[in-house]
Structure formats: C-alpha cells, structure tokens
Structure 1
Amino acid sequence: MGVRRRAAVAGLLSAMLAVAGCGNDGSSSTHEVDARGPITFVTQKDNSGVLPFIADKWNKAHPGEKVTIKQQSDQADQQLSDFEQHFQAKDPGYDVITVDVVWTAEFAARGWIIPLTGQHKLDTSKLLPATVTSATYNGKLYAAPYGADGGLLYYRTDLTKKAPTTWDQLTGACKGKTTAGTITGAKPACYAGQFAKYEGLSVNAAEAINAAGGSIVGRDGRSATVDSAQSSAGLDFLVKGFKDGYIPKEALGFQETQSLNAFESGQLMFMRNWPYGVAVLNGKGSKVKGKFAVAPLPGPSGHGASTLGGHNLGISAYSKHKATALDFLKFIESDTVQRNNLTVGTLAPVLTAMYSDPALTAEFTYLPDLLKSIQTAVPRPITPFYPGVTEAIETNTYAALQGQMSTQQALKSMQAAIKSATAGG
C-alpha cells in the first residue's frame, strides 16, 4: 500500500546528488559473491502477520543458513533513516532489505544494493511486468519484487449499478447524490482519495496526470516533464473536484485511513484506495458491508492509470553471504510464500498466475480487477532524486487543491521545483 514518504531526511539528497548515476555493478564487492551463511532480513513492521511463516519455512529448510528478521518501525522516514545509517557505516549485518518501490533508484545510485545480474541473476518470467519495472534502474534489475499494490476505485453498489470507467461517468453518477462540499448529512459525497499534504497526495496527483497522458520526469530520472497540456488536464480533474464540490473539502485532510473511514461510514459514493481496504470494509460494524465493490480507476476516456505500490527486496552490497541472500530472494518469490502473503496478510502477489488461480479468485474476488489495476500501473517517478521530486508534487498540488493557485500555475511551479531538485546530479 502507499507509504508516507517525506523529503526531509537529513543529508539524503545532498549525499545522493554526488553519486547519482554511479550505481554499484557488483563487480567490486568487498566480500565473496558466492559466500553462504546466516543472513539478516531487515524489513518494515509486520502488520499483516506473514513474517513468522517466512522465517519458519526458510529456517527449517536451511538450518545452516538461518534468517534472522529485524523489524523496523512502521514509519517510512524512520525506515529510510535506519538504512542510511547502516549503509553509510558499510554494516555487513543488513543482508536483505525491504525497498519501497520509490527507493530502488536511490539505493542503486548510491551503491547500497547490488544489481541482480550475472551470477546474481533473478528469473522474472513469472512476475508481473509492472513489478519488475519498479525494481529496475538504468536498465538493470536491482531488487526482487516482493509485494505488489495498485490503486482501486471503491464504489457503492447500492447507489450505482456499475462502476464508472471515465471521470465524466463518475461525476455524472453523483448528480443528485452529493451535498455541497460536505461529507455529513443523509446523502453521501461523491468522491475522495488521499489529498492531505503527504506522500499519498503525490500518488493521487500522479495517477491523475498519468491517466491523462502526462508525465512528471523523463526516463533519465532527471528531466522535468510535468508542465504540459496533458498533465494540466489530469490535475484539473482533482482541482475542479474541490472547486465544483464533487470532492468534499474535508478530503484535504484525508490520508488512507481517513478516506477509508469516510467510505466505511457511508459518507462517500466513490473512493480511491489500496486493496487492503476490502477486508476493512467487510469487517464487523462496517455500514457498507455487502454494499460495495472495487474496479480499476477511471480516466478521462476509459480506465485510468494506477500508481504502482508495493515493496521489493534488495541484497546489500556489504553482505558477507550474498549467495544465501539470493536464494532467500528466490524463496520470497515462490508460490508458497506469495500464496501465504495473500491468504494471511492480504498482500497482493507478484506472481502473475495467482491472479487467475480459481481457488484464490473464489476467495479474493477482487483479484481480476486488481490485476487490471497493476497491469496499467505507472511507477512513481523513477529517480535518485525522489525526495525533492515528491516534495515538489505535494506542495504544488496541495496549493492548487486549496485554490491558492491555478492548475497551470501549480504545474509551472512544480516543473521549476523538480528542475531544482534534480540539478547538479
């Protein structure tokens, strides 16, 4: 799912600028690339309960190469700060790490993780292509897709017969069902996503921009491309939403939880959120249990473009047991682990075949729609300067949503801020 990712991690951007584009090719590692032994897997807090299964299965099969799992906090800023501290110290104790999809380029450019090429090559033929793209930097695979995620449209089946596939259909379905800019009262408001000033806003803005054919940075990860007619058409869908009232003003404070709570209490007709919300909305006490469904996000003329979420796993450049670490990556992508991640933790699998598995689709009926979402997903800007880029998106998008500047002004300011963030690398 989307994580809160701030730009103000001390020293990150300046240090990264000095080494951007100089990724480790794995050929000059301090340690033997074929060494085996115990490893440590450093990952985010296990809120889904899947880590005990992973540790037990691996350790029983590899008694001489056991894995120790170190859980970090559930805050992305703290996770990144922890990685920065240990990698700058060239700590060999962090063998395998969980890499948010927006960190792959940064970690690769700084030489923190090794490319999965040569004798570290990983077979990606069974994986969702979008997840492989999120783990790739400068044409090389640097991480192993671990968990996928894509934005979905939640809609009230008791209020509309079918999901809208276009923005016009969405707003049209709301006519007569919204109140003027409020999510209180008898009638639900029309639509909300995540519009507070945090990483989730970058996600929502990117989805709108990408759906309209715009982009934020070029393929080089440096060139600012966001100031375009296409980007303007996309961002304007959100700006007009607040201006015209089909997005309630309260949504300016919505992160994932707040938007989910509003939908769960019956105050929204449509909502953009991640797949984990299905379990929450079907839970005890939900006012919309049995009254909602999910579909791919709409766009200007058809299905839109979800922002790809999820996490990857990388092998530390300073690990002493890289061969074992590679085998652990392959184990994580096995059917056994991916199936447990879904059934126990409701984590979206990275194996393509699971989305058409009869047993799984019977239990998780939203999998086909989630697959469509992921297949059309666009990664957040792949750049080693991501902190500055996402800050530019958040700041200017939020100002436009508040009505402090026009869509066009926001994009020009965003373009300038991105140029500044990526300059000198």
Structure 2
Amino acid sequence: MTDSGGQWSPRFRIVLIAIMLLLGIAVTMVSTILVTEVDKSWTPGSVTRGVLSAVLVLFSGVYVNLMLAAILKVWRDPGSANRSLAKTVKDVRGWLSETPRRIGIALTIAAIVAAGLALRPSPPPDTGLEAGELIIMTAFDESPSDPRTMLIKQWNQLHPANQAKIVAVPGEPDQQNARMVNDAKPDGAHEADVYVLDLVWMAQFRHEGYIRELDRSTLTGLDDFVPKVLGTCVHDGKLWGLPLNTDVGLLYYRTDLPEAVKPPTKWEQYFGEDAAAAAAATPGVEAANAAALANEEILTVTALEAMWAAGGKTFGENGDVAQNEDKTTVQLGANDEIGLGRLAAAAHDDNVVVTDEVRSTTDDGAVRTFAEGRTLYMRNWPVARDGLRDQVEFRVAALPTASALGGQNLAIRAGTDKPRAAQALIEFLTGAPSQLILSEIGGFAPTRQSAYDNAERRELQELRTALNNARLRPVTRHYVEFSRVFRDGVAEAINDRSGRLKPETLQQLAKILNQ
C-alpha cells in the first residue's frame, strides 16, 4: 500500500481514486432516485423519505465537489498517506470556506434535484370517478314504469357517490332542443352533465362544441352496437356519444278481422289506392291507415318515407341532400315529386286516412285511432306496441320500403367537471344488459346486436329488418330549422292538394344547409 518512504504506491492511488469515483457516482444516483420518489402527501413514510432525500442530496453536493479536490491531492501528493486527521479536517474546512467551492456545491445540488424532477414518472391517469351528482337532461319524464328510470335507479344503487338525477324537458322536439342548447352554450346554465339527444341533433351539438368526445381507451364492446346506429355518434373518426335507443318505423296490422290483413309489400297497400280498396271492402273500419300528418317531426318523417317509397333520391340514405350546381336550391327528382303527390292524394282520400283528423293526428293520436279498431294499418314507432296492449289484436312487420332512422343518443356536456363519471353512466345505460331490459320490458328498439340475438319478443326480428333498411334524415347542424321549413312546405303541399313544394321552400332549404 505504501512504500518504504511512507508514500502511497501508484497502484493503490489508482484504486483509491476509483473507489472515490464510484462512491460519488453511487451517492449521486441514489440521491437523484430519492428525489424522483418524493411524495407530496404528509404521511410518516413520505416525510421520512423526504428528509433522507434532502440529507443525501446535500451530502452528494458536498462530496462531489470535495471528491475532485481529493483526487487531485491523492494523485499529485503521494505523501498524503502520512497526513494526520486534524490536518485533513482543517483542509476540508478551508475548501468549504472558498466561495467557488460553495457555488459548485449549490450548482451540484440544483443539478441533482433538477435531474430527479425531470426523471419523475408521469402520474398514471386518474381512472376513478369524480364524486358528485350527475344530471341527465332528457325529454322523458321520471316514471316508475319507464325502464330507463329503472336503469337509473340501478345505477344509483351501485354508485352512491354518483347519484344520477333526471331533469325532464317538456314540450315538442323543437322546444326540447332549444332548452338543451340554452343549457349547453358557453353562457348557458350548464345544469346537465349528460344530454339525451335526438340523433338528428348530434351534428348541431358536436359542431357548436356543446358536447365532448368520449375516451375510447376505456370503452369495450363497441362492435356489439348496430353499425348504422353507432354511426350516428361518430364523426371524423371521433366518438361523440353512445346510442341509448334507436327507432325505426314499423307497420302495425290487424289480426282480429274476418278477412286476414296481410303485411303490405309496397307503400300503396297501406297508404295508397290498394289500401283504399282494402278498407272499402272491410266492414267496420273507417279507413286503411291511422296516419299521423300533424305539422310536427312526424310529418317530415312521413314525407321522406313517401318519397323514398316512390324511388326518390333527393334525400340520400346517409343524410345527404341533392342540390343544384350552385347550391341555391334543393333539387327534387321526378320520383320525389311523385311520392309527395301520392301522399297529398292519400291525405284527402276518406278510404285511406281519417281525413277530418289526419292533419292534427300525432304519433300518440294514431295509436288511439288504431287501438279503437278504426283502421287496418298504422305506421308507428316500436314503443307504440305498449299503447295497444289488450285493446286490439295486431302484429308488426317491417315497412316494405325504407323508414327514417330515429333514436336517442347519450352525450356528455363539454364543460362537465365529472367527465369520467358521466362516461361511466352512459356506458352503463347503453350496456348489453341495459339494452335487453329496454327492449324486453320497455318496447324500445335496442342498439346492440346481442339484444336482438337474445330477444324473446317475436317482432324484434322484424324490427331488425326495418333497421337494416332505414335511412338517415338530412344530416345538418341546422336540422331543427331545416325540418320546420320542410314540413311547413309539405303541409302546404298537402293542404292545397298539389303535392309540390314551392320553389321558395326549396331555395330556403338550400340556404339552411349551406349557412
């Protein structure tokens, strides 16, 4: 280790310097790691680790700076082997009193702390649900017999920290839309966390920034949704909601008459000349069809279905609308005009519809007319089934031609402070078990394939057929205004028996689409 003159040998000095370097590297690494693990919480363990980290960082800063001087001393002065402890301590004090040395220690400590903070792992995403009440704004009332209410009660039992509450929005669809917009807009009331949106409102709420994109990373079972239905929640590859229930037109036909009523194979058999002939030949009925032509959304739907039945292509199956080249007017084809003409003629034929009531008849009014046995047929939504129980014998069939796709989607308000909890709620309400409950108990058209596969209700397969043939209504963020102008024009075309939309109506529709 030392030679005869009391000096360290070159080999020993190299070993000693290597040990000092390794020790410096070790204490620096350990102190840096401790900095990365410092916890902000004030637990006994975290406080102990914090104190230990501070002590070791300070030691590392001092050691690294003294180590450099010590290495030079050992290498240049082999006689350090004879240095007394008192002399060594005196030299260390002298080094520490030097201003450059203190600055070096401070910079070393700062570097260790900075490196530790930079290497701290990003905290894992918070997957817990934010506590607090969840408000669902919807058009349906909180009724004990409504399966949607039943599902919300189940959620509340499972999630005591996230009780869901319904805020019902009264009125017609246009009024409901206005109420939800007033809540969702930047200066709105911001009462809701979740909206139950008619699918035709999705473009509006998405474009205006009223709703937020869903986190796909936590979602499972998306492939179980009916693709056409889930597609109403998707735009540019982003998912903006989940479908609560879908809707599609079904044809209800009587089974309690002496002469068997068969499912129609074409529009005319329940809404045209063939229907009139069948009604005239059937004692005890007033007309063929319990039609609903009140100036509400059902009139838009009925007009579109009449145009599609005639082969019209102005309103495409994916929600596109044909316009002229300079987009100044919606361009009706010959078949579209034929379809509207047939609808206008049917609305004035006593054998086809109950003419003195038809232009004020809503969906609910049509159910009453059919339930009273006054007609052979009724085109209505799946939920109409419950209103007919024990009143009239009937079966259902898919429409022979395309029906308008309806339904309601669940979307999260963009500014909610409980996005994870809100998404968990809509996942629960749209899950496979919930969809089966909505279908089997509530009569709603389910949105998941599994609900159709496991259904016990016979008409569910007819509903699935109708759903596969359904078409979207015009997709526009101004749908509410578009539908109002369109059905006003249709109502006028029916009333004056022309069956033709006026040029100014078509021009106004194009203006709405392009604004």
TM-score (norm: length of structure 2)? 0.66
Answer yes or no: is 1:209 the counterpart of 2:307: yes
Within 5 A, what are the aligned runs for 1:5-404?
36-38=130-132, 39-44=134-139, 45-47=141-143, 49-73=146-170, 75-88=172-185, 89=187, 91-116=189-214, 119=217, 123-137=221-235, 140-157=238-255, 158=257, 159-170=259-270, 171=272, 173-174=274-275, 176-178=277-279, 186-211=284-309, 212-216=311-315, 225=330, 227-245=332-350, 246-250=352-356, 251-283=358-390, 286=391, 289-290=392-393, 292-297=394-399, 303-357=400-454, 360-361=455-456, 364-404=457-497
Cα deviation, residue 173, structure 1: 4.9
Q: Secondary structure at the match of 2:222?
A: coil
Q: What CA RMSD, in Å, does the superposition of the two structures yield over aligned residues?
A: 2.9
Q: Which amino acid aligns with 2:279?
A: T
Partner of 1:421: 512
Question: Any gaps of 5 or more consecutive residues in structure 2?
Answer: 1-125, 324-328
Change (3 A) 1:140 1:240: farther
The answer as to whether partners of 2:439 and 2:451 remain within 8 angstroms in 1 is: no
**1-side partners of 2:312 and 2:237: how far apart?**
23
Whose RCO is larger (CA < 8 A, sep 6+)?
Answer: 1
The answer as to whether partners of 2:383 and 2:442 remain within 8 angstroms in 1 is: no
TM-score (norm: length of structure 1)? 0.79
Which stretch of the first structure deviates more once superposed, 367-376 or 48-57?
Answer: 48-57
Change (3 A) 1:74 1:119: farther
Cα deviation, residue 98, structure 1: 0.6
The answer as to whether partners of 1:115 and 1:143 remain within 8 angstroms in 2 is: yes
- The number of residue pairs the alignment matches comes to 374
Partner of 1:27: none
Q: Secondary structure at the match of 2:379?
A: strand
Q: Deviations over 1:236-255 (max 9, x none)?
A: 33123135552342312211
Cα deviation, residue 41, structure 1: 2.0
Q: Deviations over 1:220-264 (max 9, x none)?
A: 679564511232232233123135552342312211122222211
* Identity between Structure 1 and Structure 2 (%): 25
Q: Which amino acid aligns with 1:370?
A: L
Task: Please say which structure displays the higher CA radius of gyration.
Answer: 2
Q: Which amino acid aligns with 2:345?
A: K
**2-side partners of 1:385 and 1:80: how far apart?**
11
**1-side partners of 2:431 and 2:339: how far apart?**
38
Cα deviation, residue 351, structure 1: 1.1
Cα deviation, residue 56, structure 1: 2.9
**1-side partners of 2:130 and 2:435: how far apart?**
24
Question: Any gaps of 5 or more consecutive residues in structure 1?
Answer: 1-31, 298-302
Change (3 A) 1:366 1:413: farther
Partner of 1:5: none
**1-side partners of 2:303 and 2:127: how far apart?**
42
Change (3 A) 1:167 1:221: closer
The answer as to whether partners of 1:97 and 1:313 remain within 8 angstroms in 2 is: yes
The answer as to whether partners of 1:147 and 1:347 remain within 8 angstroms in 2 is: yes
Q: Deviations over 1:125-180 (max 9, x none)?
A: 11122222332345543221001111111112324342111124444653544359
**2-side partners of 1:116 and 1:225: how far apart?**
35
Q: Secondary structure at the match of 2:166?
A: strand
Q: Secondary structure at the match of 2:212?
A: coil
Change (3 A) 1:209 1:117: farther
**1-side partners of 2:279 and 2:440: how far apart?**
37
Q: Secondary structure at the match of 2:224?
A: coil
Higher helix share: 2
Q: Which amino acid aligns with 1:238?
A: L
The answer as to whether partners of 1:276 and 1:346 remain within 8 angstroms in 2 is: yes
